[in-house]
Each structure stands twice: as C-alpha cells, then as structure tokens.
Amino acid sequence: MEQMAKLKPAFIKPHGTVTAANSSFLTDGASAVLIMSEEKALAMGFKPKAYLRDFVYVSQDPKDQLLLGPTYATPTVLQRAGLSLSDIDVFEFHEAFAGQIMANLKAMDSDWFAQTYMGRKSKVGTPPLDKFNLWGGSLSLGHPFGATGCRLVTTVAHRLKKEGGHYGLVAACAAGGQGHAMVIEAYPQ
C-alpha cells in the first residue's frame, strides 16, 4: 500500500487520482470471434458457445460523461431484450479505471442521475457484486486494446457454462463518450 501511495497521477498532474495502481494496463492480445446463425454453425460442424441476444451502442457528451457508457447502455439493452437486472446471472464490465467502475455503479444507483441525465423516472440499479467480474476484470487481467470486447464476451459465455447461468451482460465504455452493452444467453449444454 505504501508503494501505491507514492505513485504519481497519470492525468491532471500533480493533483489527479488516476495512477498505474488503479488503471487497466494495456496488454498484448488478439481476438477472433465467429458470429453466425445457430443453423449455419451447426451445418458447418461448430458447437455454439452462446447466443448473442441483443446489443446497443450509446454516445453521450464526453465533457462530463466520458466513461459512463455502461450506465447508459445497460438499461437500454435490458429493455430491448425484455429483461431486468435480476434476470442476469453474469456481469462483465470493462474496467478502464477503478474510478470509472465506481462512477458507473454510483450513477446506476442514483435516481437523481437517472432523472437529470438519462430522462428516466428512476435509477437503473447496480449489478450484484457477487455476479460482477468474478474471474477478474481489465484492472487485474489487463486491457488487450482491440481485443477487450472479445475477452468480455467469451468470459461471459464460459462463466455461464461453468456457473449454470442463463443470461449474461457485457458493458464497456469507449473513447469519445461512447458505450456498449450486450445480452448473452447460455447455449444449451
């Protein structure tokens, strides 16, 4: 802990709070994901890992909403899929920074934020932490730039299988105030 306290901020020097200790680090990585209809996959001899049920992309003002994409995308994708937070068994959110996750969880749990910024009557709610990034997130595993989304999706598919869950939710922020969320459904064993 003492060593972490000595780290210099990465942004807004010398007064920032983001340091190497609470930021996801860029790692080497590559990815390939094959997305096709179930019928085509089976005809080609592939066994699907999961169903992609729905997805959304959102954008908000990067001036003060830069890393809040998961807060905006989560309720939208859940509504489109006809689900609620309580229907989700596995959550995987990209962790750009520790503060980014904390800001999203706080915004998702705020009626004021929902009413003021999202045009909603009430808060989104927060994912239960006992279902959230259980195998490690970008802070512990790293951020393989350009492959993080695939890592999140495959982690959800594998967790659903191992944990016996039915639905998973992936969410991520992106540069320029963008965000993304998708609902993944377990493939029958």
For residue 45, the enclosing domain spans 2-186
The reported pLDDT for the residue numbered 99 is 83
Single pTM value for the model: 0.86
The reported pLDDT for the residue numbered 175 is 78
Position 106, amino acid: K
The reported pLDDT for the residue numbered 65 is 83
**In the chain, alpha helices (H):** 2-5, 38-43, 62-65, 69-81, 98-108, 111-117, 138-141, 148-163
Nearest Cα to Cα of residue 21 among 50, 41, 1: 1
The reported pLDDT for the residue numbered 28 is 73
pLDDT tens by residue, 38-89: 999 999 999 999 999 999 999 988 888 888 999 999 999 999 999 999 999 9
Burial class (CB in 10 A: 0-12, 13-18, 19+), 27: middle
Number of domains the chain contains: 1
Nearest Cα to Cα of residue 36 among 27, 26, 46, 25: 46
CATH code, 52: 3.40.47.10
| Rounded mean pLDDT for each run of 10 residues along the chain, 189 residues in total | 69 66 66 91 96 95 86 97 97 87 95 96 95 88 78 95 98 88 95
